[in-house]
Every structure is written in C-alpha cells, then in structure tokens.
C-alpha cells in the first residue's frame, strides 16, 4: 500500500492536501514552509514544479512560480527538497507539473528519480491519459489525473479506471484561486465521479478559507486541496513565510473539523 493509499485508508475526516510551489520563495525557505504546513495539520503535500507558463494557475500561484524560478531551484533541487522532507516526515508527497520538464528529463528517468527521492504520486497537467503510457505503466509512483467540470461521463469512467492514488476534481471552471463559495452543484459532481471510480476524490480550485473547506467536505470530498491561500501567505510575508503559512493551513483545517463536528451532532 502506498503512502497515499494509506493516508486515505486511515482517515477519519477528509484529508487536507496543502499545496505550494517548490522553491517558493527560496529553496531553503521552501523547506521551512512545507515543514510548517505539516506541523499545522496538512495530511498530504502537493509540490508544484515551477514553470514559466503555468496556464492552469491563477495570478497568485503564477507569481509563486516566478519567485521560485528567480530563487534558482531546478529539477535536481526539487528532488533534493523532497529528500530533505523525507528526513523529517513520512507524509505523502505528490508532484504537480506540466509535461515539458518531464519530457526534457526523460519520462522514465524523471519518474524513477522522483520516486527515489521520496515522491509518491504525480499529476502532469497537460498530458492526457491517452499520451501517458509511460506514466500509467510504471509502478514506482501513482499517476493522478484531473477531472474537470466539463469531463463527460465516459471519460470520467476511463480516467477513474487507470489512475491511482486519487482523482483531482476541479471545483469550478477556470484557473486556480480562492473563491467566496464553491458551486452549488459540487455535491452532485462529487457523487458522479465517485460512481465511476473506486478511487478517493479530492476537490481543489477555490478553497482558501474555513468556509470553502467546509463546503468541499460537506459535498463529499475525500480530501480538500488548498494552494492559492498558501502562495498568498508567502507573498505577503516574505520575511517569515513559514509562520503565516501555518496560520493559513490551520484556517483550512478548521473548516474540515467543523464539518466533522456538524456530522457528529446530526447523528
């Protein structure tokens, strides 16, 4: 059983997946940021590989990409960062990237190096499952796929059958960023995805407060993913980003805890 599988198997509440751009704001500070996320209640870490054209990301995370690139982290540095985290924690870690760095590095070599460093899974945003033969066939690291609001039922079922770890359900059309509320139809879409797969379903895009975390948990999500709120905390507090990132993670965690309390009260 992988670390990702074990985390979902053992959960009592929806998991909190805390997301940050690797190397933001600097490689050394990034390690402290991630350790702060873990200490503050994150159950899993999504580590984004910096990219010069992050088309799926909104302005907050896009600026995080820019800071990380200016800080000089590259693929070897990211693998070193994961190894450093592994010396401190056994928390599940998965990478989010675009296809270009993987292809340049060599798909099989990249996946093997990532697994050797301690990564448990990977999302390649712009690599459709039909083009992910190497990713799907290897056994060292879980291939995680995204379900968009526009993904048709037959494609949801296909993706749900070949992915591992979990499925990443985008809460609403558009790019990453925080929202005041999640869409009203989110519970229906979570249910539709769960009916087409045995994998856990994690909801991301738009979760930046206790309220939206509560809404995602109430919609039936097995995990809640928060990223822009963390990148925003780093941006606003460059001198001590780890401290304020911890506050952001605890805020999201409080919404998940509130959902659990409300369910217990209703039973």
What is the set of active-site residues? 46, 57
Which tokens is 253 given? 């965690």
Which tokens is 85 given? 């985290």
- Burial class of residue 110 in the structure, from the number of CB atoms within 10 Å of its CB (0-12 exposed, 13-18 middle, 19+ buried): buried
3-state helix, strand, coil in the chain (%, to 5): 50, 15, 35
Spatial distance between the Cα atoms of 153 and 156, rounded to a whole number of angstroms = 5
Phi, psi of 121 (to 5 degrees): -160, 170
Q: What is the DSSP letter of 50?
A: P
What is the residue-wise DSSP string for 59-113?
Answer: HHHHHHHHHHHHHT--HHHHHHHHHHHHTT----EEEEE-HHHHHHH-HHHHHHH
Give the residue among 238, 207, 217 at the shortest CA–CA distance from 24. 238
Which tokens is 235 given? 């941006």
Spatial distance between the Cα atoms of 172 and 252, rounded to a whole number of angstroms = 18
| Contact assessment for residue 249 and residue 230, using Cβ atoms and an 8 Å cutoff | yes
| Contact assessment for residue 179 and residue 208, using Cβ atoms and an 8 Å cutoff | yes
């Amino acid at each position: 059983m992988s670390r990702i599988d074990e985390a979902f198997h053992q959960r009592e509440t929806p998991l909190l997946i805390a997301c940050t751009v690797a190397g933001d704001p600097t490689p050394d500070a990034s390690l402290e940021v991630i350790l702060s996320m873990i200490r503050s209640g994150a159950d899993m870490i999504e580590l984004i590989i910096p990219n010069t054209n992050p088309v799926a990301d909104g302005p907050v995370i896009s600026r995080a990409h820019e800071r990380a690139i200016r800080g000089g982290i590259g693929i070897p540095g990211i693998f070193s960062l994961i190894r450093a985290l592994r010396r401190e924690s056994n928390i599940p870690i998965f990478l989010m990237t675009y296809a270009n760095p993987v292809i340049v590095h060599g798909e099989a070599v990249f996946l093997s190096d990532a697994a050797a460093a301690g990564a448990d899974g990977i999302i390649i945003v712009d690599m459709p499952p039909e083009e992910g033969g190497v990713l799907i066939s290897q056994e060292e690291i879980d291939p995680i796929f995204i379900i968009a609001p526009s993904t048709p039922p037959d494609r949801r079922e296909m993706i749900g059958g070949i992915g591992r770890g979990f499925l990443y359900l985008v809460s609403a059309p558009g790019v990453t960023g925080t929202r005041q509320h999640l869409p009203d139809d989110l519970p229906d879409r979570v249910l539709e995805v769960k009916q087409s797969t045995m994998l856990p379903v994690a909801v991301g895009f738009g979760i930046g407060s206790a309220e939206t975390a509560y809404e995602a948990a109430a919609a039936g999500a097995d995990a809640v993913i928060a990223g822009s709120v963390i990148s925003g905390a780093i941006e606003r507090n460059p001198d001590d980003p780890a401290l304020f990132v911890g506050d952001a993670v605890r805020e999201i965690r409080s919404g998940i805890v509130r959902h659990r309390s409300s369910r217990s009260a209703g039973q």
